[in-house]
Homo-oligomer: A and B are copies of this chain.
Amino acid sequence: MNINDLRVGLIGGTGEEGRGLALRWSSAGAKVTIGSRSIERAGLAAAEINRVLGGSYVLHGSNKDAIEGAEIVLLTVPFEHAASTLEEHAADFAPESILIDLTVPVSFDKGRARYVDLPEGSASEHLRARLPERVYLVAAFKTEPAHLLARHNEALDCDVFVAGDSKEAKARVMEAISFIGGARPVDAGMLESARALERMTVLAIGINRRYKIKAARYRVVGLT
């Protein structure tokens, strides 16, 4: 893969996760478009990143703009809005495009994070059932803290677990991730593995709280 050929689009890309990944992939050479329901907010986010990068690298537009023409689309909206957003934009995805699902269904009870069980077993499987068949769904970046992604001067220094039912799509995403500094892509198997990954995120949120830290994340030991 030549990173300069990689076109990435972000749905709801104005949050910490979206801005952080837009900057990291853009500075690696990918062509990134930040999408949002508000073009104004997308423009502000892109301007902020371009200021950091020192040039006009990142594009912006509507979510439709971000999806169309992108080879890899990132779903960086909260889980609560994920299904409705995908349903709204089902027609916008190019055939054989890849959607990376970053969502984790979590609720907070007196400050304590709890995983929200879904009938399909995970958010990724829930969304898979709502996505056109011509789009590949890959779960990734589930366990990376959003504000760590946003701290662009900091290497991620962790493993990025990648799960999906299409080996080719998964390999493509893993290769794209390998361009991000400090991120080691790890093949986490079929999409069903999202059941583990999403719960690992909730576990990390709890570890953050108990140890008064901010960016608990994971590395696999024994894998070189």
What CA separation (Å) do A200 and B188 show in the bound complex? 10
Knowing A193-B206, A196-B196 touch, does A214 contact B219 (C-beta < 8 A)? no
Interface assignment of A96: CB less than 8 Å from any CB of chain B: no
Contacts of A221 in B (CB 8 A): 157-158, 215-219
Interface assignment of A207: CB less than 8 Å from any CB of chain B: yes
Contacts of A16 in B (CB 8 A): none
Contacts of A110 in B (CB 8 A): none
| A207 in complex: contacting residue of B148, B215, B223, CB < 8 Å | B223
Interface size class of A (residues with CB under 8 A): 35 or more
**Main secondary structure on chain A at its contact with chain B?**
mixed
A206:B188 contact, CB within 8 angstroms: yes
Interface assignment of A1: CB less than 8 Å from any CB of chain B: no
Interface assignment of A186: CB less than 8 Å from any CB of chain B: yes
Interface assignment of A203: CB less than 8 Å from any CB of chain B: yes
B219:A219 contact, CB within 8 angstroms: yes
Which residues of A (183-224) have their CB < 8 Å from a CB of B?
186-189, 192-193, 195-197, 199-200, 202-204, 206-207, 210-211, 213-223
